[in-house]
A and B are shown apart, each in its own frame.
Chain A
Amino acid sequence: MSLSTETINYLAGLSRLNIKDTEIEKLASELSSIVDYVSTISEIDVTSKHDVLSHNVFRDDAVTVEAGVFKVALLKNAPKTNGDYISVVKVL
């Protein structure tokens, strides 16, 4: 298999996902077949010059929304609040 269970665990750590021991074999198998398929990208010739079609689009550095307009709606969606603050698990 192209992706070992070690690799899956490493990726899971990076992406903040817990993988159960009962799931890991199946996941490694599924992801390996996906990676095997997309690895065929190596067969494509690409020019070293990549046409970057996008360009920066800026907006004016100005306030567009009145302060507090979304506050109530946003706090309502927060899992845990403390007054006007969102409450989080201790970081330090």
Chain B
Amino acid sequence: MKTLQDVQNEILNGSKTIRQIVDESISSINDTKDYNAVLRVYSSAIIDECILNAEKMFKEKSHTSLTGVPIIIKDNICVKGEIVTAASKMLENYIAPYDASVISKLKKAGAIIIASANLDEFAMGSSTENSAFGPTLNPFDKQTVAGGTSGGSTASVALGNTVVALGSDTGGSIRQPASFCGVVGLKPTYGRVSRSGLIAMSSSLDQIGPVANTVNDAFTIYNIIKGKDSLDATTVEIDDNKVVNVKKKIGVPFSFINKDGIDQSIKADFESSLKEFESLGYEIVDVSLPSFDKALAMYYIVCPAEVSSNMGRYDGVRYGASAPGKTHIESFSNTRSEFLGPEVKRRILVGTYVLSSGYYDAYYNKAEKARDNVRNELNEVFKTVDVIATPVSPVLPWKIGEKADPMSMYLADVFTVPVNIAGNPSIAIPTKRKLGAFKGSIQLIAPHFGENILHRLSTDFEGLQR
């Protein structure tokens, strides 16, 4: 079973009950335990509640395309009454007091919220190696990483635990693991999906998005979770049923892509993908995006800065783990030092530095202004092309433990990070080519709120990958 429709057909034609579908999912999760994609199956209380709701919806003929279908949730999204850890010892026993807005929407659509997926701790990383509960192994090669930070979400779909999952993307954290696991991953426009109930990492960059086997399924989930939310003031009301006027042009920043460090097999796969677009009548246009060169530097200023602020709440007082201290300040330091992992600490320290007196203007303020450059350049380019295409990652999935140096891990984010910096929507789609053990992948970037354009072009491209 690969798609939402496959799962639902079995329910609708009576060959399986919802309960059986759910049990199969849980069996699959248990059978693939050694990949460490799923952190925990949710309690029977919530699963039973979801099943009852789904059965009711089918009976009343009010079902959606998601009704009765199990979905796995990245463990930084709150599900009421369930433990949510952000893959950190700090929240190892924390129970979410409310549903994230996206979870409420999924429940309303009749989805079965079934299990939580592994991630890099507090969504910081590019491989899921930073999880306090062990890395997630790549479904194609157990010695390599699944990608991150939504490695658990993408691996669980690739392993067949469920056909859909939710991830979150701050600098590529849905798209990159989607490419490493051979599945589809969509990062919506910033502001399109509510962040209420998403454990905050970098508030001007984070977005929740779907992981699926097909483009259509990814957009089905997207359409259910999107929307203005009074609980997230950064969400917007937008009419995205506008007719899309397709120019049939795809922009490629060739000089940026052809820099040193891109794996030759990835480059070859990308070039084949561009030829495939040409066979569909698309014109490939060389575009200039000079600000992309510095987007990674902007990101590794803005993101740690926001992280240092968002991590301030973990002090062992109101929730989370707690360590004692002689004074209250000592108890904060002891708590944070004992229960936060090394990458989280690194980012807190870098963030503190770039926000500190004497450095704020040169770093954080400058980076925030520089984001305009990326936004403006993209807006200019989108006057003449429908989407921009790039590879997703410059390197193939690496061996677990291989990238010990933080900077070398950061450099793997070059193609995905500029998108979050500017807030644009973007999708990673697998190609039919094999790069060693792995599938090729391509990234398409659209104008703000251009999810319709992404849907159209990715569907066209996907059609050639069968």
B-binding residues in A (CB < 8 A)? 3, 7-8, 11-12, 14-19, 27, 30-31, 33-35, 37-44, 46-47, 50-51, 54, 57, 59, 70, 73-74, 76-80, 86, 88-91
Contacts and interface: CB of A to CB of B under 8 A. Distances in A.
Contacts of A18: 333-334, 337
20 contacts: A12-B349, A15-B352, A30-B346, A33-B406, A34-B300, A35-B350, A38-B300, A38-B354, A41-B362, A41-B367, A46-B369, A47-B369, A47-B372, A50-B369, A59-B230, A70-B98, A73-B97, A74-B318, A77-B319, A88-B328
A8 B349 CA distance: 8
A17 B339 CA distance: 11
Contacts of B348: 15, 17
Interface size class of B (residues with CB under 8 A): 35 or more
Contacts of B322: 79-80
Given A15-B336, A74-B97, 8 more contacts: A15-B349, A19-B337, A38-B367, A40-B294, A42-B366, A44-B291, A70-B98, A89-B327
Given A3-B353, A38-B297, A27 B97 contact: no
A13 to B, nearest CB: 9
A79 B316 contact: yes
B217 interface: no
A3 B298 CA distance: 19
Contacts, number: 138
B79 to A, nearest CB: 13
B260 interface: no
A31 B350 contact: yes
A54 B362 CA distance: 22
Given A47-B369, A76-B95, A16 B300 contact: no
Nearest to B338: A18
B298 A77 contact: no
Nearest to A14: B352
A11 B368 contact: no
A32 B312 CA distance: 23
A45 B256 CA distance: 19
A50 B319 CA distance: 38
B271 to A, nearest CB: 29
B432 interface: no
B318 A44 contact: no
B333 to A, nearest CB: 5
B258 interface: no
Given A31-B346, A37-B407, A14 B294 contact: no
B301 interface: yes
A18 B277 CA distance: 53
Interface in B313-362: 315-322, 324-325, 327-329, 331-334, 336-337, 340, 345-346, 348-350, 352-354, 356, 362
A41 B298 contact: yes
Contacts of B350: 31, 34-35, 38
A73 B297 contact: no
A54 B315 CA distance: 30
A17 B337 contact: yes
Interface in B185-226: none
Contacts of B60: none
B273 interface: no
Given A17-B345, A31-B350, A38 B329 contact: no
A27 B349 contact: yes
Contacts of B368: 50
B284 to A, nearest CB: 28
A33 B349 CA distance: 13
Contact of A17 (B234, B333, B407): B333
Given A17-B333, A89-B327, A31 B349 contact: yes
Interface in B274-303: 291, 294, 296-298, 300-301
